[in-house]
């Protein structure tokens, strides 16, 4: 490995063959030395799941002499980061980028996202990390309009780092590059999924279910990721893996826990 170039770990949750990760690899190759470790099949909405009850396999898919090392992994996005850091990489990467996800990871979606969980896992390992998502679920989505923004954000993080324990959740609106107004640092909108299950039956009479639902944004603030995306901005939300509700500690300490 060339220690004069930043070492960048690339992963995702849509699988190593997804167009989104191929676009991300192309951008990162302009910046540094790339190692790709990504799931061998789609792992969307896996959250921070890890593999503990079955074996993990990695398969080197790049050929001898290729400029970019690529490995597919049989596990989850978080497994990919763990095995990259502990088994594949010779040194800790300077940056981990995850994505580009096919579809939104704004607002509450960050909780379920395999894309973001991979980035969070890198953050836990002390690696500056960014999750990228495009608001287009089409497998053949056009990633060209967002490549320059990906590069700009990645270079900024490589140059100046991130606050301790912070990971960036970056979402792009589905519009032409000329229509993107800029980048906005935002908070996560207060929204939720109103879920319902589509109940059906097999020919044998056994019930089965498809998860469905409606995304409901209750947040009217103009400082949120949802507002930014609806108004043609790239949203950048700083997220953290410390889930402590610090604002609640003082209130809870007024209660008589030990009486």
Rounded distance between C-alpha atoms, residue 4 and residue 87, angstroms: 22
Chain centroid, CA 20 distance in Å: 12
Residues 167, 171, 177, 183, CA torsion sign: negative
Write down the pLDDT at residue 259. 85
* In the chain, % of residues over pLDDT 90: 88
- pLDDT in the model for residue 3: 67
- Per-residue pLDDT at 63: 85
Q: How high is the mean pLDDT of the chain?
A: 95
Using CA atoms, how far apart are residues 14 and 44, in angstroms rounded to an integer? 6
Average pLDDT over residues 96-115: 95
Please state, in angstroms and rounded to a whole number, the distance separating the CA atoms of residues 110 and 236. Answer: 12
Give the tens place of pLDDT for each residue, 28-80.
999 999 999 999 998 988 899 999 999 999 999 998 778 899 999 999 999 99
The residue with tokens 């894309």 is 115
**Which pLDDT score, from 0 to 100, does residue 213 have?**
87
Q: Judging by beta carbons within 10 Å of its beta carbon (0-12, 13-18, 19+), is residue 56 exposed, middle or buried?
A: middle
Q: Is the CB of residue 198 less than 8 Å from the CB of residue 209?
A: yes
Residue ranges and CATH numbers for the domains of the chain are 7-189+221-252 (3.40.1210.10)
| Cβ(78)–Cβ(51) below 8 Å | no
């Amino acid at each position: 490995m060339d220690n004069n170039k930043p070492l960048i770990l690339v992963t995702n949750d849509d699988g190593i063959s997804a167009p989104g990760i191929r676009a991300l690899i192309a951008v990162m190759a302009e910046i540094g030395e790339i190692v790709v470790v990504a799931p061998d099949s789609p792992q969307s909405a896996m959250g921070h799941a890890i593999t503990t009850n079955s074996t993990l396999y990695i398969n080197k898919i790049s050929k001898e002499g290729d400029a970019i090392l690529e490995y597919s992994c049989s596990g989850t996005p978080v497994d990919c980061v763990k095995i990259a850091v502990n088994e594949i990489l010779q040194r800790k990467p300077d940056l981990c980028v995850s994505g580009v996800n096919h579809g939104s990871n704004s607002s509450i979606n960050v909780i379920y996202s395999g894309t973001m969980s991979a980035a969070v896992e890198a953050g836990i390992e002390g690696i500056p990390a960014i999750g990228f998502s495009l608001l287009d679920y089409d497998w053949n989505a056009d990633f060209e309009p967002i490549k320059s923004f990906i590069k700009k954000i990645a270079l900024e993080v490589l140059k100046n780092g991130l606050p301790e324990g912070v990971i960036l959740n970056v979402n792009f609106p589905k519009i032409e590059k000329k229509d993107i107004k800029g980048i906005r640092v935002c908070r996560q909108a207060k929204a939720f999924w109103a879920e319902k299950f589509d109940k059906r039956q097999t020919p044998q009479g056994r019930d089965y279910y498809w998860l469905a639902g409606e995304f409901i944004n209750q947040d009217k603030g103009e400082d949120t990721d949802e507002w930014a995306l609806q108004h043609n901005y790239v949203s950048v939300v700083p997220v953290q893996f410390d889930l402590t509700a610090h604002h609640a500690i003082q209130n809870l300490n007024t209660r008589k826990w030990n009486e």
